[in-house]
Structure 1
Amino acid sequence: MSDNPLVYSTDKGRIRSNETFVLRPKGDGIIRIQRQTSGRKGKGVCVITGFDIDHTQLLQLAAELKKRCGCGGAVKDGAIEIQGDKRDLLKSLLEDKGFKVKLAGG
């Protein structure tokens, strides 16, 4: 037999693991906003990193930022990605929430 965990049983259906936490690097208390275009076919996104909050709070913050900026985005690997170049608006929104923010990169 293999070492893979059981994921489905005909008696119980889909079996989910109790471990649903997301491992992320700890932030240093400074939120960094960086503009990236690499690997995105020239489309720019703002990547916001350095949060010291749990995953559900991160999802709520991302939803609020997307709504306030009027654009799309996602949460990937503990970072928030917001479509477009909205670094100045994001910086002011995050500073209003009490975060210490720096613009990183070009």
Structure 2
Amino acid sequence: MDLQDQLKNLFPDHEPEPAAKKPDKPDFWLQEQPLICKYEKRKGKPITIIEGYNGAPEDFKKLAKAIKQLLSVGGSHKNETIIVQGDYRDKIMGFLKEKGFQVKRVGG
């Protein structure tokens, strides 16, 4: 017997209210220009760089955090550039396209 059945037994006349739906709001500010996703090696280690985001700084930080959490890797964000440790261009581009961004792959 689950919780709903127990509540119906205790309060037979009660009718539950329908759940309110939240409007679909994008997590981040979407821009018209594509983001640039490129690959570099610094000090012999591969990194992925995402450039060109010109939204609010709060959205920029949320986007950087979401990408790093998705990949479970480290990285940094500053000067409208997100740097992620490792070569994750395909996964990052898929994530950004899923969120509604336009992405351009640069180099290799």
Give TM-score, length-normalised by structure 2: 0.68
**Runs of 4+ more than 3 Å apart:** none
% identical equivalent positions: 33
**Aligned-partner SS, 2:45:** coil
Residue 63 of structure 1 is matched in structure 2 by 65
Q: What is the 5 A alignment of 1:3-18?
A: none
The answer to whether the Cα contact below 8 Å between 1:28 and 1:50 also exists between their aligned partners in 2 is: no
Greater C-alpha radius of gyration: 2
Q: 1:33 aligns with which of 25, 31, 37?
A: 37
The answer to whether the Cα contact below 8 Å between 1:29 and 1:52 also exists between their aligned partners in 2 is: no
Structure 2 residue runs of 5 or longer lacking an equivalent are 1-30
- What letter is aligned with 1:88? D
The count of corresponding residues between Structure 1 and Structure 2 is 78
Residue 76 of structure 1 is matched in structure 2 by 78
Give TM-score, length-normalised by structure 1: 0.69
Structure 1 residue runs of 5 or longer lacking an equivalent are 1-26
- What letter is aligned with 1:95? K
**Aligned-partner SS, 1:92:** helix
